[in-house]
Chains A and B, each alone.
Chain A
């Protein structure tokens, strides 16, 4: 197997573990952790695909950098949302915010 395929398989592993945890976990914070795992897999895949093929390597590395920036922005917003949910519902479980108020 070539190097590119090995890197892509590692990225796929990160995506699948993140998906598993995202559904399996209960609290919002651990769902955020699984989301970060998936985003890391995406960045790894982008950089591997640009470094090991004839594609534009500068574009790949900068794309991974933008993914990191978006992950940081998303983590701040999720932190604020988790805070609001915890103060209003007294728990950070995802199931507690799944009911509509009639």
Chain B
């Protein structure tokens, strides 16, 4: 059982690493989106390994089903061509900035995690679905309601923004 979990962890991590590299480095935006979807599936697999199947399903439902479709709409509506903005050359300073922004948190946080990080339990704690539901309707009710208000305001704001632009034409 233990080695099976290790194999599954390796597979999901490979999916995450490969997908993230494609998402960041691909010239074409659609390929980059496909890399993002692969990463999202890998993270959902890791949630399953952590004994959080509800969060894994929500990850697939919200991210793969909702957010990635939204990003696909954004790609279509901006008429992004594969030979467009992304394939132009960039100044060297920009590459240096990007590498700097990546390495500083990587080095600092990796040292913190490896040297000083808590060991934690080997087995994840089990949370049943009724406990999650009781949490949503009990102590965390305010956050649950506020997130619906935030979603509503975001949708209404998005429609307002797009509406004005279309009205002008």
Contact = CB atoms under 8 A, between A and B. Distances in A.
Task: Please tell me the size bucket of the interface on A.
Answer: 35 or more
Q: Identify whether the interface residues of B are mostly helix, strand, loop, or mixed.
A: helix
B80 interface: yes
A80 B125 contact: no
Task: Please tell me the size bucket of the interface on B.
Answer: 35 or more
Contacts of A30: 29, 32, 86
Contact of B46 (A10, A53, A92): A10
A37 B120 contact: no
Nearest to A73: B154
A48 to B, nearest CB: 6
Contacts of A73: 150-151, 153-155
B127 A57 contact: yes
A87 B85 contact: no
A71 B150 CA distance: 11
Contact of B106 (A3, A8, A16, A58): A16
Contacts of B77: 79, 82-83, 86
A72 B46 CA distance: 20
Contacts of B1: none
B150 A69 contact: yes
A20 B150 contact: no
A62 interface: yes
Given A8-B113, A32-B74, A36-B36, 17 more contacts: A4-B117, A5-B114, A9-B113, A9-B114, A10-B46, A13-B17, A13-B20, A24-B94, A27-B29, A27-B85, A40-B63, A43-B59, A44-B46, A52-B125, A62-B144, A73-B151, A75-B71
Interface of B: 9, 13, 16-17, 20-21, 23-24, 29, 32-33, 36, 39-40, 43, 46-47, 50-52, 54-55, 58-59, 62-63, 66-67, 70-71, 73-75, 77-80, 84-86, 88, 90, 94-95, 97-99, 101-103, 105-106, 109-110, 113-114, 117-122, 124-125, 127, 131-132, 135-136, 140, 143-144, 147, 150-151, 153-155, 157-159, 161-162, 165
What are the 7 A-B residue pairs with the smallest beta carbon separation, nearest first?
A: A4-B120, A21-B24, A80-B158, A73-B154, A52-B120, A20-B102, A80-B161
26 contacts: A2-B120, A3-B124, A9-B114, A13-B16, A17-B23, A20-B98, A26-B85, A27-B86, A29-B29, A29-B80, A36-B63, A40-B43, A44-B43, A47-B52, A47-B55, A61-B55, A68-B62, A69-B62, A76-B70, A79-B74, A79-B77, A80-B157, A82-B77, A83-B74, A83-B162, A86-B77
